[in-house]
Every structure is written in structure tokens, then in C-alpha cells.
A and B are shown apart, each in its own frame.
Chain A
């Protein structure tokens, strides 16, 4: 079936070539990192995680958001999603793949990655994260591919496919819960040490992931003449708006607890991110941009006349994705390390090498997504 991804027009191949160039750039930057060490990144003794772990966190959410299509379609028989359920599943596959590549890029000794399986440690949240992420990737790849294959032959999917799909629904919640637990169980990192982190991760994931799905349907409509239809888009927009609202609410509760209780350690990271701490305020403009964009975008998505306007819908989706990417893909990780356990305030700035590796991994994910969606659309339009 994948051979269908090898048949495309000029625009398709230009896009693939562009992605290959970015991947090449990323690979060469990674080669530099492998030669010199992680010292080529902006990370250091105090800010020991950076862009890589931040992208990983954001993308686990994107992967989990496939459930926003799978759940209503398979559990609630919402037929409007029939054309795009596969888009969600394949988005999950490529996002989960990027997650794993970002973890690999962040490792000091990637040559020893199999130690995680060789010495399984159930007390470590990383162990569980590796398990659920791999499981989720294969659940979505196998079930998506099997349903598509059946559709190509014009038959009903095998019964075992349904079982995999049903398993993938709670599994989607588990991947982002476990990802939150990577952070929420660490003593002494007050930005992360909060019970609301897992719910907030799920809310921001379903908001940003669903917005990405809406944007993909617009892109497919434009470049592949594959229209998922206005109705599923609007349903997704409603889901995205409420998830976005929940995310803003959770952020508000974080502010309340930190600032009303007035406990310094609970306030420090939020102060650093939103107001600056002891003269250090590198992320302040980013965080306010994220917050304001997030509020406006959720407002647009909540308003029925505005979200029916395609231009407003696209703008709101982009706004929401950017807002949550800044919040989760930057602020949450960098801010979690400030102040350090010894009360130092250290700023982090990613290097060109680090950004190149990051772009390379994104390009790999987009290439996989492009090929999977190309195949899916070829099957669906019976090319």
C-alpha cells in the first residue's frame, strides 16, 4: 500500500525534497553532537533538559489527541469523522515517532538505549513511558493500516482490529498521564510538583492536537483536494475550545495556589516565567504572548459565528497551537529548572546545533506523516 506514497505531483515531491534537506541538516548537526557531546547544546549542569525534552512533552500530547477522533467515531458512532479518523491515527504514529527520536537525541549514551529494556525498572517513570509510547505507536500504526487495507479491498476490517482500537482509547490517556508523571513526581521542582500537571497535560494536548488536526484537514483540502467536510471540523473546533478552556482554567488554579498560599518556592518558577525573577526575565514576553494568544484563540473557537468563518478558524487553530507550544514546549521545561536546587537563577538558550537537530526530527516526523497521509488519501479517493 505504501507504494502509493511514491506517486505524486510536482508539489508533493518539492515538499518531500524540502523535508529531506532539513533532515540532512539535522543529521549533520546530530553528527556534531555525537562527536563533541551534549555540550554543544545550551543545556548544562543547572538546566539539564532543554528543547529536546520540551518537544518530546509537546508531541506526546499531539500523539494522544488522536483519541479525539477515535473515541467519538468508534465509541459514539459519530459517522462525520469517518473520513478523517485515519488522519488522527497517522498523526499519532508520526508524533510518537518524533517523541522517541527526541528522547534519543537527548541521551548522553544513545548506544546504551536498550539498557532500558535489559534492566527493566518499574520504579522509574521513564520505563513506563517507553512502554506506553511504543505500544501507542504500534496500536495506531497497526489498526490504522489494517482499516485502510480493508477499505482498499472493500471489505470490513478484521475483528481483532476493533479490539486494538478500543485498547488505544485508554492508552492515549495513559501516554500523557505517564509523561506528566515523569515530572510531577520529582521532589524539589515546584513548577512540576503538582497534581494538576497530568490533567493539564491532557487538556493542553487535546486543545493543541485537535487544532493541528483541523489545520491538517485544511491543508489536505488545499493540496490534495481531499475535503473532510465542514461538519467534522466544527465538531473538532468545539472539542478544541473546551479543552483549551480547561487548560487555561488549570493554569489559573496554579497561579491561585502559588500566589494565595504565598509560599516562595511555589511562586518562584511562575514569577520567573511571567514576571521575571531577580532581573532574569528571558521568557516573560514569550509567556505573555502565549497566554494572550491562547485566550483569544479559545474565544474565537468558542464563538459559533467566528469558528464558522474559515479564516478565523484557521487563525484560531494556529494561535492555539503556538500558544500551547510556547507554554509546554518551552516554558514548562525551562522554567521547571529555575531556580536551581541551590537557588541559582540560570538562563537557558538553545544553540544552532540543538535547533538544527530539533528541526531535523520535526522534518522526519512530517515526512512520515506526509507519506502515511498520501497513502491514506490515495486509498480513500481510489486513485
Chain B
């Protein structure tokens, strides 16, 4: 685990380093110290890292909402108190709702009754970014599907395109409906789409996503799917896992142990 964590910190930190390096390169006069060009050999290569998550539904407790509460608090997700205008980044769905095309006939009733964590799948082939007319939602170099809240025109094509219902729209000003303001992530404005960002604001500091660290049951594993030695890859190799709607060819980066 500690080996894995060191590896994780090294990778997550790269993005931050590269960002700082680029800024210094653009404005040499403002650089705090001379640019060390050897650092640029580690510049982010698109597709080199692919962040992914493995949800162990056996460990996830039915009525626990620790990860949801923590995520929604850290990201200033509003609560309007009704489902119509709901904004959600991570939530629990019934087994048959999360996996509507999975076999359910004569299935173990305990499995059918499980509540499954659902969030953005950060697909390798995301239909949402393809539908976006302004590149406001896009796939980052590390596989995270991100949103530029300042560019989004609120056309909601990405919502229609997402086959997982992972995206929420700000149907009204979210700010008055944030229970407790957090300074860990910016608030959004009315009229833009938002969703889980795999905690890119934490990854850049070398921290694991908020949901992962908040889970007392260790049901969530986060790591680089492109690294065959990462813990998540070892667990994927050792367990029978599922992705949501694999038949659509979106290649989700969120996996489930049933």
C-alpha cells in the first residue's frame, strides 16, 4: 500500500509540476528560479496516465453516505431538497438501475438489493465531450473528463449524450443552496453543467479523491489504469469486475466488484 501511495504521489504531482513549469516558461521574468529543462522530460503525455476507480460493492454498506456527504461538501454541491433540479456528483443507485443490461434472473437477492455507487465514469471514449459544441467539456491528458464552467453555454447536449445520467445542470443559482461553504473547490453559477471531476483539484496536490479517503470500509480503490503494477490493476486482474453499459463502447474508467 505504501509503495502504491508513493507511486501515486509521484504521478499525481507531475501535472502540478508541468503546470508550474509551463507558466515559468511563458513568463521567464516571473520565474522564481531558472528553468530546469530536465524536468520537462516528465511533462504530461496525453493518454500516458488513465485514472480509474474500483468500487467494491461487497464492502460498500447499504445505508452509509459518508463519501457522498464528503464529496458534495468539498465541491460545494447545492441541495435544493427535490429531485427535479437536483445536482449530484456521486450517489447510490439500485443494482438494476446501475446495471440495467446485466443479468438479474435468479440472481442472488442480496446482490439485487445492493446500493451501488454511481458517478461519472470518465470514459475513454466519452460521448459527452463529442457532443459539446464549445469544448467546454473535454478529456484531459490523464483521462479525466473535465468541464470549463466559464465556457459552458448550458445547451445540455452533454447531458443527453451521457448514457449514465452522470451530469447535472444548474437550473437555478446554486450558491444560496450550499449548506456549508467549502474553500476546497469553486462554486458554480446558474446555467452550467457540472459533475464528478475525480477530484482533480486534490490529485494535483498528490491527494486521493475525497470519496476514496472518506470511505471507512476501504471499498474504493483509485489509481492509474495504464500502470500494470498499480494496485487497481492488480485488483482488476484478481477479481471478477463489471463496467456500466460496456456494450456502448464508452470504456468507463469506473469498475465494480459485485
- A residues touching B (Cβ–Cβ < 8 Å)? 36-39, 43-46, 48-49, 103, 106-110, 112-113, 115-116, 118-119, 121, 123-127, 130, 182-183, 185-189, 265, 336-337, 340-344
* B85 with A108: CB separation less than 8 A: no
* A340 with B191: CB separation less than 8 A: no
Chain B 70-95, CB-CB to A under 8 Å as 1, else 0, gives 00000000000001111100000100
- Apart from A39-B171, A125-B131, list 19 A-B contacts with CB within 8 A: A37-B190, A38-B191, A45-B169, A46-B165, A108-B152, A115-B133, A115-B134, A115-B153, A116-B134, A118-B134, A119-B134, A119-B151, A121-B133, A124-B132, A124-B133, A126-B155, A336-B160, A340-B165, A342-B98
Q: Is B250 at the interface (CB under 8 A from chain A)?
A: yes
Given contacts A108-B154, A115-B151, A126-B133, contact A44 B160 (CB under 8 A): no
* B154 with A123: CB separation less than 8 A: no
Q: Is B248 at the interface (CB under 8 A from chain A)?
A: yes
Give every chain A residue within 8 A of B132 (Cβ-Cβ): 121, 124
Most A CB within 10 A of own CB, among B101, B130, B171: B171
Of B118, B133, B136, B153, the contact of A342 (CB 8 Å cutoff): B118
Whole-angstrom distance from the CB of A22 to the nearest CB of chain B? 26
* A126 with B171: CB separation less than 8 A: no
* A48 with B85: CB separation less than 8 A: no
Alpha-carbon separation in the docked complex, A127 to B160 (Å): 16
* A44 with B171: CB separation less than 8 A: yes
Of A38, A118, A187, the contact of B250 (CB 8 Å cutoff): A187
* B100 with A121: CB separation less than 8 A: no
Chain B 147-183, CB-CB to A under 8 Å as 1, else 0, gives 0000111111101111111001111110000000000
What's the A-B contact tally at a CB cutoff of 8 Å? 140
Of A37, A39, A265, the contact of B100 (CB 8 Å cutoff): A265
Q: When A and B form their complex, which 8 residue pairs have the shortest distance between CB atoms, in order from nearest?
A: A108-B154, A188-B163, A108-B191, A39-B171, A44-B84, A126-B133, A341-B165, A39-B172
Given contacts A124-B133, A188-B163, A188-B245, contact A342 B156 (CB under 8 A): no
Can you list 8 residue pairs at the A/B interface with Cβ under 8 Å? A44-B86, A48-B160, A108-B169, A116-B153, A124-B132, A188-B248, A189-B160, A342-B100
Alpha-carbon separation in the docked complex, A185 to B164 (Å): 15
Whole-angstrom distance from the CB of B104 to the nearest CB of chain A? 11
Q: Is B135 at the interface (CB under 8 A from chain A)?
A: yes
Whole-angstrom distance from the CB of A382 to the nearest CB of chain B? 46
Whole-angstrom distance from the CB of A93 to the nearest CB of chain B? 24
* B97 with A39: CB separation less than 8 A: no
Whole-angstrom distance from the CB of A181 to the nearest CB of chain B? 11
Q: Is B13 at the interface (CB under 8 A from chain A)?
A: no
Given contacts A37-B191, A121-B133, contact A342 B160 (CB under 8 A): no
Of A37, A43, A124, A343, the contact of B157 (CB 8 Å cutoff): A124
Alpha-carbon separation in the docked complex, A79 to B152 (Å): 49
Chain B 214-252, CB-CB to A under 8 Å as 1, else 0, gives 000000000000000000000000000000010011100
* A265 with B101: CB separation less than 8 A: yes
Give every chain A residue within 8 A of B248 (Cβ-Cβ): 187-188
Given contacts A107-B154, A186-B161, A341-B163, contact A37 B170 (CB under 8 A): yes
Given contacts A45-B86, A48-B160, contact A112 B96 (CB under 8 A): no
Give every chain A residue within 8 A of B171 (Cβ-Cβ): 37-39, 43-45
Q: Which residue of A lies closest to B193 (CB)?
A: A108
Interface range, B side: 35 or more
Alpha-carbon separation in the docked complex, A87 to B250 (Å): 46
Alpha-carbon separation in the docked complex, A125 to B93 (Å): 31
Q: Is B127 at the interface (CB under 8 A from chain A)?
A: yes
Q: Which residue of A lies closest to B174 (CB)?
A: A37
Give every chain B residue within 8 A of A186 (Cβ-Cβ): 127, 131, 160-161, 163
Give every chain A residue within 8 A of B245 (Cβ-Cβ): 188
Whole-angstrom distance from the CB of B72 to the nearest CB of chain A? 15
Alpha-carbon separation in the docked complex, A88 to B85 (Å): 41
Alpha-carbon separation in the docked complex, A110 to B191 (Å): 9
Alpha-carbon separation in the docked complex, A103 to B153 (Å): 11
Q: Which residue of A lies closest to B168 (CB)?
A: A45
Q: Which residue of B lies closest to A182 (CB)?
A: B157
Whole-angstrom distance from the CB of B50 to the nearest CB of chain A? 20
Give every chain B residue within 8 A of A45 (Cβ-Cβ): 83-87, 165, 168-169, 171
Whole-angstrom distance from the CB of A14 to the nearest CB of chain B? 38
Q: Is B192 at the interface (CB under 8 A from chain A)?
A: yes
* A124 with B131: CB separation less than 8 A: yes
